[in-house]
Amino acid sequence: MNESILLLVAANVLVLALLMLVLVFSRLHWVLRLLLVLMVSGSYWVAYQGWDRAQGWPSTNAVPEKFLLHGAVIEEPDQEKGVTGTIFIWLTDLSTYKPAEQPRAFVMPYTKQLHAAAQEALRQMRNGQLQLGTVLPDMAAKQIDGGFAGEVPTLIEFSNLPKQALPEK
């Protein structure tokens, strides 16, 4: 079990134990007790929203503008099973021109263009070329068909990571 999950569970149990002590042994007015229960319940909801990041679930947030690709998994749509198709991408954010501490997983709606680009990038990676991903401007992405209903698909361009120029001696 992940240490962060274990600590989060222990913290929630501690808060619950303290709440029970206050509710049972205090002489607070019932309105204050109700507010206390609502506040603790709200803190559980906030903590639950952070679980996906702690457990490594893929993010549905926008992909960074510039990133280093580590891998991709493509699930094609299947009409018979009712699967719309998704593309999972593991990347390191380079949009701040400094590498992020850890890679992050993202899930994106399936498009044929993104499928082709990801397949080619994976092929280049198998040949030893690191791949740099760049999110293209919104106008290009709006011209692409596909994606989830009501959602604008993201168009990503992959290129070989340029070789680092070493300074002269």
How far out from the chain centre does Cα 130 lie? 21
Task: Judge contact between 73 and 58, C-beta under 8 A.
Answer: no
Q: Assess contact for 68 and 121: CB atoms under 8 A.
A: no
- 163 backbone φψ class: left, alpha, beta (φ>0; ψ -120 to 50): beta
pLDDT tens digits, 95-133: 887 767 788 899 999 999 999 999 999 999 999 999 999
Taking the CA atoms of 62, 47, 1 and 100 in sequence, report the sign of the dihedral they define: positive
Report pTM.
Answer: 0.64
Please check whether residue 160 is in contact with residue 124, taking contact to mean a CB–CB distance below 8 angstroms: yes
Is 133 in contact with 158 (CB distance < 8 Å)? yes
Residue 128: which region, alpha, beta or left (left: phi > 0; alpha: psi -120 to 50)?
left
Q: Measured between alpha carbons, how far is 55 from 52 in angstroms, rounded to an integer? A: 5
Q: Which residues, 6 or more positions from 64, have their beta carbon under 8 angstroms from its beta carbon?
A: 91, 93, 94, 95, 135
pLDDT in tens, 34-73: 998 899 888 888 877 777 666 677 888 889 999 999 999 9
Mean pLDDT check: name the lowest of 4-8, 91-95, 118-122, 145-149: 145-149
